[in-house]
Amino acid sequence: MHVSGYAVRSGMVPRSDSNQDNDEALVTNIINGVQTDSNEFGFAAQIFLKSGNSYRFVCTGSLITENYIISAGHCAIINNTKMSPDSYRIVVGSRSLGDPNSGTDYYNVVKINPGDYATNSAHDVALFKLEKSVPSSVATPIKVYPFRVYNKLPVTVAGWGVTTAGTSTPSNVLLKTVVNISSSTNCTDYNDDWTTNYGALLCQESYNGNDSCQGDSGGPLVTLYGGEQVLVGVTSTGGNKDANASNDCGTNTIAYYSRAAYFLKFISDETGITPRVLSQRIAL
């Protein structure tokens, strides 16, 4: 599968299963992950897309305001088609993977704003507006990390899905793994749109097998700041640096994340909340 705009190699794939051609598509997820603590990722959201007469899990997201979820643009525009808001159901505030087909509480989506992703695939973010606000007793929105991202910044990625590539049953619990920010020449070699980690994209290389994967798209890349998780990036795309390798995730891979702070104005314009408030617990 190709991602438009990632022209250096064909192995770069969106890290969701929403672009697949059938309902049985592989939903791989956090590689070398462990379970999250009870409230560690309380802002994480599960995005389900209608397929036939039921809904299937396709992407991860984050509660960015009380009634908006931030996720990947390719979770909203699939096969060059912007999906209808009523095609989605979103579960918020649970570590356990829900099932909106059978009684799990969920939120309907009333609006989707994928920004300019349709014409610029390097801007891989989208905002999903919920039909009603999420009570603070259910989940608290995550704040955006507004500073420069450097190689040694300790970051963790989280999402739902299988624990081993090649299987097809998502994990029942939210998983996380520590990954490594990179600015090596590989970052440009495998993606012409990456220039530095100060721009729209962040680069991550897997040196120890820890990685995000399909099903994690749109999910949070976070760091701790002032004792709280803050949003550094949104999971976008990745692949193996060896074109002949069988694994797109895990060992010897490279991945890209949309840098959250780069899109603060976009988020602010859509939500009506100022960039300062979107990161209000962080000293600017």
pLDDT at position 248 is: 60
Q: Contact 253/205 with Cβ under 8 angstroms?
A: yes
CA distances in angstroms from 106 to 196, 213, 227, listed in the order given: 38, 24, 29
Q: Name the architecture of domain 144-262.
A: Beta Barrel (2.40)
pLDDT at position 4 is: 26
Which pTM was predicted? 0.85
**Cα–Cα distance, 63 to 148 (Å, whole number):** 22
Four-way CATH pick for 42-141+265-271: 1.20.1260.10, 3.90.180.10, 2.40.10.10, 2.40.110.10: 2.40.10.10
* Tens place of pLDDT per residue across the chain (284 aa): 222 222 233 356 554 544 433 333 222 334 444 455 557 899 999 999 999 999 998 899 999 999 999 999 999 999 999 999 999 999 999 989 999 999 899 999 999 999 999 999 999 999 999 999 999 999 999 999 999 999 999 999 888 855 555 555 667 788 888 888 999 999 999 999 999 999 999 999 876 545 555 556 899 999 999 889 999 999 998 877 777 766 566 566 788 999 999 999 999 999 999 999 999 655 54
pLDDT at position 20 is: 39
Q: Contact 268/274 with Cβ under 8 angstroms?
A: yes
Q: DSSP per residue over 97-158, as a string?
A: ---TTTT---EEEEEEE-TTTTT-TTS--EEEEESSPPPTTT--PPEE--S---TT--EEEE
pLDDT at position 203 is: 95
Residue type for 113, please? N
pLDDT at position 24 is: 30
pLDDT at position 270 is: 98
Q: Where are the beta strands (DSSP E) in 16-121?
A: 34-35, 44-51, 54-65, 68-71, 77-78, 81-82, 88-92, 107-113
Domain coordinates of the chain in residue numbers? 42-141+265-271, 144-262
pLDDT at position 21 is: 37
Q: Tell me whether the CATH fold assigned to 42-141+265-271 matches the one assigned to 144-262.
A: yes
201-205 and 228-240 strand pairing: unpaired
